[in-house]
Chain A
């Protein structure tokens, strides 16, 4: 069947900001879809509020709306654009939910927009537990005994019928937010209450627990002609009970016989048909009883998912691209397989390697949250690795995680743990479980006992044990026999490498001085990796797509070309502080190189990204970003240089070791990076340039730190050097706090010192992104933060251009930027953080590399910074490229951060110097207020236009809050405030109703919030006591989805936005229009 000609214009909805459960994978899928549809000649209208996405690059769609993804806004876009069709299956749960809302409200019917890919009926059948259960009954498949509840009475009723433990699964939420496992009646009621609140439809399902069962997933695709193929099977190492996003997973499935696998395949296809997903990709999850093979269907996602992204990267089959083509009417046999060229997409990939995905967690960022994995996803990123066996893939995956592990062998030596404690730890799934398994093995716990505690399939435990056993062999190898010429030694090293051991592991087990020695030893032995292709077909056909992984085998499949080429180092797994923004920059670097005719070679380990798409770069190496793995690639490819400034801290950490190994670093030199990072050198430079920084010092010990703090005066900001995302950064108000801090921070810092800065109270923070070619500097964007200095820049909202700064001050900031760029001989991107206090400019930080704001500035100004920087790095001159002429203006752009607090119950939402946001949104409009309003809406904060606002602030901040209170009062809000605040506001002539704090009696403020009488919460705190007392208010706001702010500046911005919105309403406009292209 050829493509449809009755539709011309197709809308794609993205997934919005990066949150836990919805990360870069939907940029990857949306970008692929947009490209595929454009390729077919369709006009594409794209909606996404996330500026750090490739899909919102203005060239990718015909009309790009960086607008909030919520039904009202999208309806406005539909009214304006009149698309013929809406493709709802590529933007994650957000895109799907929005499409459902638009369909149900009649918007789609009103404008004649057809849902393609999946019908409303199919989506509802898959998403509603009740309908899904009936559907499974129809086709004779089993699902765990369950009941749907809408009220607590339902919960009590079903609780009597289903045996404990019971799983609580909310319908219509992200990554199972609000779900959990209940072991008793009390648990059940507690978890269900949270689940009902979290569900968009107040619907939860109580389900018979299949905790400990084996968990599998199949990725299915179906076309209009009802042809179905399975792209990939995935087996979870962590069995049922841990969210699949938090599980270590393996592709393909390892422990199923063909017969069992085919039963699963049949079931997946039957489900596709019964649910009625007409075209596209879906994901089906299965639970299998390890004792007898009984199989349950757990769920089905009628859309491209995180697992589809993984399956695409694991097999080389581009699920999202194919899904888009199927949605417009093609059948699988009409779409060529890019990789083999000869064959079509109507096949099932066969792989001849093993793939492991390992999640990355950040519990350390959320003190108060319990490191405990359940059915609600907690991980913020993941690494994928490929090996010719499981052990190799596993160990590569562990070092890809960048958590300090060089492989599975984090520990050597004798067991120091208590055996019972080890087993107890194992029983409770947590982010460290794999290493706890390692510890258990070290302590001689039998595999049977480990299985009983973890239910991890014995096959995996044995594989892991084989790694441990091999370690013992390596460690026991006679040190005097470690020599190049010793064949026994050579064989041992080769076996170790084939099983994924890194040079650092071998160095440590052999007792060598350094991993460089281990590297030399193995290279002298002639042991170097070869690079094998990911080809979808296990070598049955010739493959053309240059997608490689390393392994220690005998074949040779790569023939590096003699052309000009450059290696780009990616950012590795997402984490807080280093996410999609850096991948965006890496992709742009690749595009720029290709435009210049230079071969681009990408190295990355993150399967969610666009950079690991096989057609983003000329060559893709899916490899860990470690010194060893990167240098191996460089030795094979022999590029003219490598670019380290786009992938965040990960590649920067590799710059100096690689430089020392003789690798040419393109762009800003590592020495300049060091001048910016090294405190003393930095200070000397600022003095030379006559620039100011807050008083500061550097200390290795708490005693030194105390002396420095006394000298410069409290409060001070303390942090370790060489970290990203404000890890372990704190504002310290007194000596006791300082000493306490040192107990924790030295761990985060490693061998680097602690930096101490004077904290500038109530200063305005300003971020600047610039590109320099060594001669000229293009100041790309000056961003004024909404939140005051002291809140991590990654967590602040910011405005471009600045809305309240004096033009002379901005000019001076720009002058200082240029001076710093010149002094540091920056070639490429650079980011500077300034603080402005009482008209004085202070320099907080200079980062001669891509920053988190690079994509935002690129979108806000229409100048793609990473691309520009790459051209400059490759020798281009700014004067010739002339970015100044490209720069767009005439509107305001606001960036707002998005936080994962709803994933970490019990963690306070207060902002501070440690970054905790996972993503960002952008709002664009003609005025600051409207742009800010959109940014709030995009971030999920629906600011009210009327109603009651609750204000509670400490005495020290009462004057700061006055402007916000005045505005809100003027536009007709009722104000409710705690006693002190109420008295203060009344004194200023503002009508206010006092309300009780929680400990003062009832009805108190939380009662009012729960009764949905409060539309906005302004809650500032000063010291630990007020933090503790008011935490319940912030938690309630979070749970009930009430918009809130914890800063005076934020409150003022909200109030101004509300005033501006008053009576106007929001309008929408595409990026292309803002840029003046149309």
Chain B
């Protein structure tokens, strides 16, 4: 069905939906990964965003049950050049259009995704709206303009879990919290994970490190966390502007003195803020699987999985050591506190999608916890 993608600056892109009559709006960003659309679709960090894949053929290998990064699709809309209706892969159980349609998410194809990407690169990520009601394109532009701006927008409440849960290796299991206490079942270090939009692969990898893990809503107070009796704390990635999560920044600041702590992406940004730093919005963000990041500790270069629109200002931090830097634009990709057992990383060591070069981050965190707690 004919559809238009309108940007807030009035630019129009004509295409067809492969999900029937529908409409969707969000911040339009581009992702340069040539694989991994299923992980992108289900990554909570994309909440509120419509993702344009720069690789023109999307959907080739369908959708499979193993590569989910959360329970359902999170993107606000999906923009591609050409969507494959009949996938080919031994693990595929569903086609991409069926998957999107089944969850009521709009997918548009036939878009000149390269022209769109160049536009976003030159003018910055911006709000956009897709509609199959193409009679009056200006109305679609107006709809785009009517969307909230990503800057200052807290979105974690839309993706966070309602109640604490644990991970059984393949799925989420509700956790029993009685009077604010939890009977940790395992023998490994007890880890409380703040959920602002956790990706399942982080849970898989933390589990593989032997952590005894409890995931809690990010609104959980510092006091409540203390009562749970963890050995360490982990801050998940998630969508939106970190600066909007003032309560969580406060909570983090309270906990940072007492526990070994690690954060990824939004978690990294929150740690930055909690330690007195500033964040800023990148022009069009980093979304892809090919950015070089240098680990300043080892000098090694990793090819990283990137997905962030906000960044911690290097200049704003004190008492921390930079541990990782992006070699493309020299932005901050990771830091460690000089005195406290705190490490944070801006990009995605859990990959899914993307290269596995940075998985050592989880080992590093595990060692840090072990050093601090003897577990």
A554 touches B90 (CB 8 A): no
The minimal Cβ–Cβ distance linking B149 to chain A, given in whole angstroms, is 23
**Residues of A206-259 contacting chain B, CB below 8 A:** 225-227, 229-230, 233, 252-259
Q: Is B143 an interface residue (CB 8 A)?
A: no
Q: Does A346 contact B (CB under 8 A)?
A: yes
Contact of B55 among A346, A538, A541 (CB under 8 A): A538
A353–B329 Cα distance when bound, in Å, is 25
Nearest-Cβ distance from residue B361 to partner chain A, whole angstroms: 16
Interface string of A529-541 (1 = CB under 8 A from B): 0001000011111
Whether B348 is near chain A, meaning CB under 8 Å from some CB there, is no
Residues of chain A lying within 8 A (CB to CB) of residue B84: 459
Q: For residue A349, which residues in chain B have a CB less than 8 angstroms away from its CB?
A: 290
A682 at the interface (CB under 8 A from B): no
Given A255-B60, A347-B290, A389-B57, A352–B88 Cβ distance below 8 Å? no
| Chain A: minimal CB distance from B320 (Å) | 23
Q: Give complex CA distance A540, B291 in Å.
A: 11
**A747 vs B328: C-alpha distance in the bound complex, in angstroms?**
57
Q: Is the CB of B91 within 8 A of A293?
A: yes
Nearest CB in chain A: distance from B351 CB, A: 7
**Which single member of B30, B36, B114 contacts A553 (CB below 8 Å)?**
B114
B86 surroundings in chain A (CB, below 8 A): 458, 462
Cβ contacts A369-399/B at 8 Å (1 or 0 each): 0000000000000000000111000000000
- Is residue B186 within 8 Å, beta carbon to beta carbon, of the partner chain? no
Q: With the chains together, A332 CA to B292 CA distance in Å? A: 10
Contacts A262-B351, A462-B86; is A254 near B290 (CB within 8 Å)? Answer: no
- Whether A255 pairs with B33 at a CB distance below 8 angstroms is no
Does any Cβ of A come within 8 Å of B56's Cβ?
yes
Minimum CB–CB distance from A288 to chain B (whole Å) comes to 9
Q: Which of B324-375 contact A (CB under 8 A)?
A: 327-329, 351-356
**Interface presence of B227 (CB below 8 A):** no
| Chain A neighbourhood of B355, CB < 8 A | 262, 265, 348
Q: Are A259 and B55 in contact (CB under 8 A)?
A: no
Contact with B54, one of A266, A331, A539 (Cβ below 8 angstroms)? A539
> From residue B347, how far is it (CB to closest CB) to chain A in Å?
13
Task: Report whether B56 and A354 are in contact in the complex, using a CB–CB cutoff of 8 Å.
Answer: yes
With known contacts A352-B55, A539-B117, A258–B292 Cβ distance under 8 A: no
Residues from chain A with Cβ under 8 Å of B121 in the complex: 539-542
B303 near A389 (CB under 8 angstroms)? no
Q: How far is the CA of A292 from the CA of B86 in the complex (A)?
A: 18
Indicate if the CB atoms of B56 and A352 lie closer than 8 Å: yes
- Contacting pair A459 B34 (CB below 8 A): no
In residues 276-331 of chain B, which contact A (Cβ within 8 Å)? Answer: 288-292, 294, 299-301, 303, 327-329
Q: Smallest Cβ distance from B44 to chain A, in angstroms?
A: 17
Residues 41-82 of B, flagged 1 when their CB comes within 8 A of A and 0 if not, give 000000000000011110011001011000000000000011
Contact flag A388-B81 (CB < 8 Å), given A229-B303, A354-B56: yes
> Contact: A258 with B301, CB < 8 Å?
no
Contact with B along A280-302 (1 / 0, CB 8 A): 00000000001111000000000
Q: Quick one: which of A291, A347, A388, A555 contacts B56, CB cutoff 8 A?
A: A388
A255 close to B303 (CB less than 8 A)? no
**Does B32 sit at the interface, judged by CB under 8 A?**
yes
Question: Given the complex of chains A and B, what is the CA–CA distance between A570 and B303 in angstroms?
Answer: 37
B181 at interface, CB cutoff 8 A: no
Neighbouring B residues of A348 by C-beta, 8 Å: 289-290, 303, 355
- Judge whether B89 is part of the interface by a CB distance below 8 angstroms: yes
Contact indicator A257/B89 (Cβ below 8 Å): yes
Q: Is the CB of B61 within 8 A of A256?
A: yes
Instruction: Let me know if B269 is at the binding interface, CB within 8 A.
Output: no
Q: Using Cβ atoms and an 8 Å threshold, which residues of chain B touch A435? A: none
B contacts with A: majority SS: loop
A353 in complex: contacting residue of B56, B291, B292, CB < 8 Å: B56
Say yes or no: is B35 at the interface (Cβ < 8 Å to chain A): yes
Taking a contact as CB atoms closer than 8 A, the residue among A256, A344, A462, A539 that contacts B35 in the complex is: A256
Q: Mark A619-642, 1 if CB is under 8 A from B, else 0.
A: 000000000000000000000000
Given contacts A346-B301, A388-B56, A389-B57, contact A538 B117 (CB under 8 A): yes
Q: Tell me whether A1023 is interfacial, beta carbon within 8 Å.
A: no
Query: Closest residue of chain B to A447, judged by CB?
Result: B86
In the complex with contacts A291-B90, A293-B90, A350-B32, A532-B114 CB distance below 8 A: yes
Q: Give the complex CA separation of A348 and B64 in angstroms.
A: 26
What residue in chain A is nearest B34 (Cβ atoms)?
A252
Task: Tell me, in angstroms, the Cα distance from A557 to B118 when the chains sit together.
Answer: 10
A residues 331-368 near B (Cβ < 8 Å) are: 331-333, 342-344, 346-354
The answer to whether B163 has its CB under 8 Å from any CB of chain A is no
**Interchain nearest-CB distance for A898 vs B (Å):** 39
Whether A457 sits at the interface, judged by CB under 8 Å, is: yes
A333 / chain B contacts, CB cutoff of 8 Å: 292, 294, 301, 327
The answer to the question of B231 belonging to the interface, with a C-beta cut-off of 8 Å to chain A, is no
Does the CB pair A555–B57 fall under 8 Å? no
Which A439-468 residues have C-beta < 8 A from chain B? 457-459, 462
Interface presence of B39 (CB below 8 A) = yes
Q: A292-B90, A458-B88, A459-B87 are in contact. Are A351 and B327 (CB under 8 A)?
A: no
C-alpha spacing A353/B351, complex, angstroms? 24
Give chain B residues whose Cβ lies under 8 Å from the Cβ of A388: 56, 81, 114
User: Which of B67, B112, B294, B353 meets A555, CB within 8 Å?
Assistant: B112
Residue A261, interface by CB 8 Å: yes
Give the residues in chain A near B113, CB-CB below 8 Å: 352
Chain B residue at minimum C-beta to C-beta distance from A352: B54
Contact B301 A352 (CB under 8 A): no
B290: chain A residues within 8 A (beta carbon):
347-350, 537
Is residue B115 contacting chain A, with contact meaning CB distance below 8 A?
yes
Cβ of A231 to closest chain B Cβ, rounded Å: 11
Residues of A with C-beta under 8 A to B66: 259
Contact string against A for B residues 89-103, beta-carbon threshold 8 Å, 1 for contact and 0 otherwise = 111000000000000
A259 lies within 8 A of B114 (CB): no
Indicate whether B38 reaches chain A with its CB closer than 8 angstroms.
yes
Which chain B residues border A257 with CB–CB below 8 Å? 35-36, 38, 61, 64, 67, 89, 91
Given A351-B34, A538-B30, A540-B54, 18 further pairs, Cβ under 8 A? A226-B300, A256-B61, A257-B38, A258-B353, A262-B353, A293-B90, A331-B301, A333-B301, A347-B328, A348-B355, A349-B290, A350-B33, A350-B55, A352-B56, A389-B81, A459-B87, A538-B114, A538-B288
24 contacts between A and B (CB under 8 A): A233-B34, A257-B91, A258-B67, A259-B352, A266-B356, A292-B90, A331-B301, A342-B329, A346-B301, A347-B327, A348-B303, A349-B290, A350-B54, A350-B289, A354-B57, A388-B81, A389-B81, A459-B87, A462-B88, A538-B54, A553-B114, A554-B112, A555-B114, A555-B115
Closest 10 CB pairs of A and B: A258-B36, A555-B115, A258-B353, A459-B88, A538-B54, A258-B35, A348-B290, A350-B32, A227-B301, A346-B292
